[in-house]
Structure 1
Amino acid sequence: MAKSALDKDLKKVVRIEHATQDLTRSLTTPGLLILFLMGTVVVASLSVAQGPLSYLVVIAALIAAYMALSIGANDVANNMGPAVGSRALTMGSALAIAAVCEASGALIAGGDVVKTISRDLLRPDINLPPIHFVLVMSAALLAAAVWTHLATFLGAPISTTHSVVGGVMGAAVAAAGIKMVVWPVIGAIAASWVISPVMGGLIAAALLGFIKWAVLFREDKISAARRWVPAIIALMTGIFTMYLVEKGLSRVWSPPLALIIGSGLVAFLAAFAATRPWVNARSHTMENRRKDVSALFTLPLICSAALLSFAHGANDVANAVGPLAAIVSTAAGESSTAGDVELPFWVLLIGAVGIAIGLALFGPKLIRRVGEQITKMDAIRAFCVALSAAITVLVASALGMPVSSTHIAIGAIFGVGYLREFLTNKGVPNPAVRPRSLFLEPSKLNKTPEQAIANYRKRERRKLVRRQHVVGIAAAWVISVPATAMLAGLFYALMATFAG
């Protein structure tokens, strides 16, 4: 009796502890958000020179903070999702690594200047009055943030760059008509809806196919791993070195092509020399199984995910604070449509901190969707997705093609999933078709024709990619630009009304 009473009391204590943890967690999220937004207001108020547009700059800083939170919640999932889905990283480790690398990329390589999105999308010969330009950028940021927030809530990974593009387009049209927009740029962005996922999927599938053919399908997997894994990891090191030099540091340094290629080659050779003895040492304790060979890719996968996050922070922080930098420049009496604008440190800091907080508070939902709910991941498949993202961006940059890192990553996940499905179902017939051999030679199977057909139809094809996500994600991509354009037009009209 005493023991039973003690057990009940202990259960009550455990329930109270869990309730306390849930309450603490529920209070932490709004508390941290309020603290971040209040800090944004204080920093903006202290950093902006007093003038007729200074209050609009503070409001725009708040909107940019909201956009940074939304980017952290949505965009970063593409880098960390496969690593979490493959169990190479726990959710907590992925959030910590991504937050540090995203913020580091933004602060270290975010750059002193940004090419404002208005420079590419808006005609410089049509000058908007300063207050209207500020309202256009503010409406564009708010529309992009709201749409990204909605997409995250619905579990759809989207391109935040395209969201900002749609926002600028819609607000500019509302302010000055369709003549204000450079429409060929919009056409190139629409083309990337197809180019990005197709390139990412094909390259990821090709990488996975090569690893399967060269290592996993071999009878002696350990010997094959010793031969090929060092070269594959060295390839990753070389590619990511070029990726970081070309993209991750592009806002602070523009090296020549020969230096980019040379740095990649040196990194490849150094990584090959270092990786070969590491693989040989680990392979001595391995069993001749796929699972053991796959473990060799865990550390390279974690490194690649961290590097992708660094490059993402360096590049995509501009989606959150690029329009804010243009607003700050305009409020100071400078032109923001003719060229580059200065990126003050306080503006960059808002973007970096906002992305990290958004990731920590709201990132897990989309990380699980990307890493676990589209197709099953392991270390090798996730490694191919990460490496494909870097290769695709480099190839597209060399060819001058517009691509989206989000679309590339999702396309790569679908690519490895469909390749697995193809290889798994290879030789499995379509159950809706009855081959003539079943009727011509049923005696060879020692079965009647009816039995042969019944057994034939039992061999169903396996579906290793969730089809419903294909349709949902593709739909979110296609409507991102028009949706944010309509929202931005509405927000601009409301802002213009209140601004007088």
Structure 2
Amino acid sequence: MLDITLVMLVLVIAVALLFDYINGFHDTANAIATCVSTRALSVKWAIIMAAGLNFAGAMISTKVAATIGKGIVDANNVTQMVVLAGVVGAIIWDLITWYYGLPSSSSHAIIGGIMGAVIAHAGTAALHWAGLQKILLALVISPILGTIIGYIFMLLMMQIFRNSSPYGLNKGFRKLQIVSAGFMAFSHGTADAQKSMGVITMALVSYGMLPSFDVPTWVKIACAVAMALGTAAGGWRIIKTVGHDFVKLQPVHGFCVETASAGVILGASALGMPTSTTHVITSSILGVGLSKRITAVNWNVAYRILWAWILTIPASALVAYMTYMVMSPTLGK
């Protein structure tokens, strides 16, 4: 007799890995848009570097995975259907924003997706409001820090190198930007691959395969590989929005953006707090752009990005809610 719960578990794992893959190509821009736009690296080598360091970063820690797996909803109300519907909601929203070239947050999408699915299953009482407040606070504060640090870092560089020729300065920073882009790619792995690790481990605990929330090694490797493969596929629409349309960048600007962003993301990951790498790097670009002048920022693009940020959690939650309502009568709750 077919074990429907086992089939659901396999389906959840497959969809979570698909989300990781989509997250990888959706967020390729986070790591390499600035170094590609400033010609510090060719597209080919930027992608290879980002994919490898995304994998390495994903293997470092599971603190963010634990936050995603235990901090959003009551574990007693997590079923395979809840997890599946939550991830599907996140995937659909990621694909919509990718199609329109909007750098929205996969972190927000997966959090919104899980929230929408669990509300459909058990109502709002099943949400961990204290945990959600901490998570949402981190997601709000991190882009503010990105803007401030990017702005200050750029002003500091301008002061230190104020007597340097633009040509010599950019030639030197074009090499340094390779290091900062690698730093950013590594930090992206520590943050984003963790989300699927948390989702899969949540499903394994729900099924009874794990007695407690402890991410298995095979889950770490599978999520790291999926993220790296997605990164290698590349999200060119978003690279264009972030790297070219938002603020015109030179190598020194790209170095400041990537270093500031990676510092914020790694700090948050060390505390187990899920940040949006998309929000952090775009806010750092904003900070660097503002250090030049207000008109250096393409505010039309900024408004589009802002609306994508605002809509992501409610939109992915709504899609997940609807997915649960459609699929649960067929596949069971």
TM-score, normalization by structure 2: 0.90
The CA deviation string for residues 153-184 of structure 1, in whole angstroms up to 9 with x for no partner, is 11111221111111111111111111000224
> Could you tell me which of 43, 60, 70 is aligned with 1:109?
60
The worse-fitting range, judged by mean Cα deviation, of 298-307 and 85-94 is 298-307
| Distance in structure 2 (CA, Å) of the matches to 1:306 and 1:104 | 11
Counterpart residue number, 1:489: 321
Matches for 1:197-236 after TM superposition, within 5 Å:
197-216=143-162, 218=163, 221=164
| Structure 2 residue 28 is the aligned partner of structure 1 residue 76 | yes
| Structure 2 residue 193 is the aligned partner of structure 1 residue 317 | yes
Instruction: Using the aligned pairs only, state the percent identity.
Output: 28
| Distance in structure 1 (CA, Å) of the matches to 2:140 and 2:196 | 25
Matches for 1:37-52 after TM superposition, within 5 Å:
51-52=3-4
| Distance in structure 2 (CA, Å) of the matches to 1:158 and 1:61 | 23
User: For structure 2, which runs of at least 5 residues remain unmatched after alignment?
Assistant: none
User: Alignment partner of 1:109: what SS?
Assistant: coil
Contact 1:116–1:326 (Cα < 8 Å) also in 2: no
Structure 1 residues 51 and 116, CA, compared in 2 at 3 Å: closer, same or farther?
A: farther
> Could you tell me which of 196, 204, 217 is aligned with 1:328?
204
User: Alignment partner of 2:74: what SS?
Assistant: coil
Contact 2:64–2:195 (Cα < 8 Å) also in 1: no
Counterpart residue number, 2:105: 159
| Structure 2 residue 93 is the aligned partner of structure 1 residue 147 | yes
Contact 1:162–1:481 (Cα < 8 Å) also in 2: yes
- Root-mean-square deviation (CA), in Å? 2.6
Q: CA deviation at 1:318?
A: 2.0
| Distance in structure 1 (CA, Å) of the matches to 2:268 and 2:65 | 21
Matches for 1:49-128 after TM superposition, within 5 Å:
51-106=3-58, 108-109=59-60, 114-115=65-66, 117-124=68-75, 127-128=76-77
Q: CA deviation at 1:403?
A: 4.3
The CA deviation string for residues 415-450 of structure 1, in whole angstroms up to 9 with x for no partner, is 11122125xxxxxxxxxxxxxxxxxxxxxxxxxxxx
Counterpart residue number, 1:359: 231
Structure 1 residues 154 and 306, CA, compared in 2 at 3 Å: closer, same or farther?
A: same
Contact 1:170–1:486 (Cα < 8 Å) also in 2: yes
| Distance in structure 2 (CA, Å) of the matches to 1:353 and 1:399 | 24
User: Alignment partner of 2:53: what SS?
Assistant: helix
Contact 1:73–1:366 (Cα < 8 Å) also in 2: no
| Distance in structure 1 (CA, Å) of the matches to 2:198 and 2:267 | 25
Q: CA deviation at 1:113?
A: 10
Q: CA deviation at 1:492?
A: 1.3
Matches for 1:365-376 after TM superposition, within 5 Å:
365-376=237-248
Counterpart residue number, 1:18: none
Structure 1 residues 397 and 328, CA, compared in 2 at 3 Å: closer, same or farther?
A: closer
> Could you tell me which of 420, 427, 441 is aligned with 2:292?
420
Contact 2:142–2:275 (Cα < 8 Å) also in 1: yes
Structure 1 residues 118 and 403, CA, compared in 2 at 3 Å: closer, same or farther?
A: closer
Counterpart residue number, 2:254: 382
Contact 2:82–2:324 (Cα < 8 Å) also in 1: yes
Contact 2:86–2:114 (Cα < 8 Å) also in 1: yes
Counterpart residue number, 2:120: 174
Contact 2:21–2:226 (Cα < 8 Å) also in 1: yes
Contact 2:198–2:215 (Cα < 8 Å) also in 1: no
Counterpart residue number, 1:477: 309
| Structure 2 residue 173 is the aligned partner of structure 1 residue 341 | no
| Distance in structure 2 (CA, Å) of the matches to 1:312 and 1:486 | 27
Matches for 1:245-256 after TM superposition, within 5 Å:
none
Runs of 4+ with >6 A deviation: 397-402
Contact 1:166–1:482 (Cα < 8 Å) also in 2: yes
TM-score, normalization by structure 1: 0.61
User: For structure 1, which runs of at least 5 residues remain unmatched after alignment?
Assistant: 1-49, 222-288, 423-462
User: Alignment partner of 1:89: what SS?
Assistant: coil
Contact 2:187–2:262 (Cα < 8 Å) also in 1: no
Q: CA deviation at 1:479?
A: 1.0
Contact 2:51–2:232 (Cα < 8 Å) also in 1: yes
| Distance in structure 1 (CA, Å) of the matches to 2:34 and 2:129 | 35
| Distance in structure 2 (CA, Å) of the matches to 1:399 and 1:334 | 24
Amino acid at match of 1:176: A
Contact 2:201–2:213 (Cα < 8 Å) also in 1: no
| Distance in structure 2 (CA, Å) of the matches to 1:328 and 1:396 | 26
Aligned residue pairs total 331
